[in-house]
Amino acid sequence: MQATRTTHSDGTVFERQASYARAVRAGRHVAVSGTAPIGPEGTLHPGDTYGQARTAIAKALEAAAALGAERGDVIRTRLLLAPGAVWEEAVRAHGEAFAGVDPANTTYFVAGFIPDVLVEVELDALLPDTA
């Protein structure tokens, strides 16, 4: 039996151009794409790793919530950091967001992102078995 697949989009031009969804739910699993701290006017909190991490985490959690996942359902996160990001600040934001949930996490330094972005966040959630 194949799991039902549902997608959620932020409605950005980039999502349409690149043919991807912000988040996808297949059965009980919700996967959130790399989420940057981007607002309608561009990158939010330029130069501020902590502010960007908090914003990206919040956006990723909102996308997961749109498909039925709550913070406590998150089982894995990934913090992707650009050169110049302060890893301690990204980890602090993650710790505040996921205290008591304690998902599996990997933090990476990557070559870079679009201008002014220091942090992207990915997450996976597993919804409770309702069967």
| pLDDT tens profile 76-99 | 999 999 999 999 999 999 999 999
pLDDT computed for residue 2 by the predictor: 66
* Prediction pTM value: 0.94
- Domains in the chain: boundaries: 5-126
| 5-126 is classed CATH 2.40.50.140 | no
Residue 89 makes CB contacts below 8 A (sequence gap 6+) with 48, 49, 50, 53
Output the six-digit token pair for 46: 């330029």
Q: Note the pLDDT tens digit of each residue in 28-66.
A: 999 999 999 998 888 999 999 999 999 999 999 999 999
Give the pLDDT band (50/70/90) at residue 14. confident
| Exposure on the CB side of residue 65, measured as CA atoms within 13 A | 9
